[in-house]
Amino acid sequence: MAERTAPIRVLIAKPGLDGHDRGAKVLARGLRDEGFEVIYTGIRRTTEAIIAAAIEEDVDVVGCSILSGAHATLLPKVVAGLRDAGAADVLVVAGGIIPEEDRAGLEAAGIAAIFGPGSTIAEIATYLRAHVRTN
């Protein structure tokens, strides 16, 4: 497969009842400056809406920012929904406040990476470039 030339497309989503979107916006802007095409969908989206948007936008990555504590329920639903829609090749990553003890469970559910507070944009960009599908 030839080396990827098109920009990587990332959906930044805020699932559930959580209006704290500062981090999501900083990340959206930062990834744009790193050369990504970032689709920002706004706050309080259902997992169904996030999955549908990811399919329509044909994104390579879905990044969920979540500070509400509902990560253990919502994030696996996003992974499963993408798989059911035939889009298991979309990378799902998470950011926000996610306790250490929940990480293993989320990773087992198919969340590729979790970026907690203190993660840098450059670190996230590097990870995504290395792990997205290649087309």
Partner 1 sequence: MSEPTDQQGAGLRTTRELAQAISSVERGGPAADALIQTALTRLASERSQNAVVIGVTGPPGAGKSTLVGALAERARTAGRRVAILAVDPSSVQSGGALLGDRVRVEERPGDEGRFVRSIATRGSGRSLSYTAAAASLLVEAAGFDLVFIETVGAGQADLGIVRLADLVLLVEGPEGGDEVQAMKAGLLESAHLVVVNKSDRPGADRAVERLRSGLALGHDAPEVLLASAVDGSGVAELLAALEGLAVTRSGGGLQRRIAAHLAAAVEARAAQLLRDAESDGRLAALAQSIAAGERPLSGAVDELLKG
Binding mask 37-76 for partner 1 (x = CB under 8 A): xxxxxx--xx-xx-xxx-xxxx------------------
Q: Is 108 in the site for partner 1 (CB under 8 A)?
A: no
Among 24, 31, 98, 106, indicate the residue that binds partner 1 (CB under 8 A): 31
Q: Is 111 in the site for partner 1 (CB under 8 A)?
A: no
Nearest to 114 by CA among 130, 128, 133, 98: 98
Virtual torsion, Cα 96, 54, 103, 44, nearest 10 deg: 40
Measured from the CB atom, the residue of 5 and 104 that comes closer to partner 1 is 5
Among 73, 120, 126, 135, indicate the residue that binds partner 1 (CB under 8 A): 135
Pair 57, 11: CB distance under 8 Å: yes
Q: What's the CA angle centered on 58, arms 41 and 8, to 5 degrees? A: 85
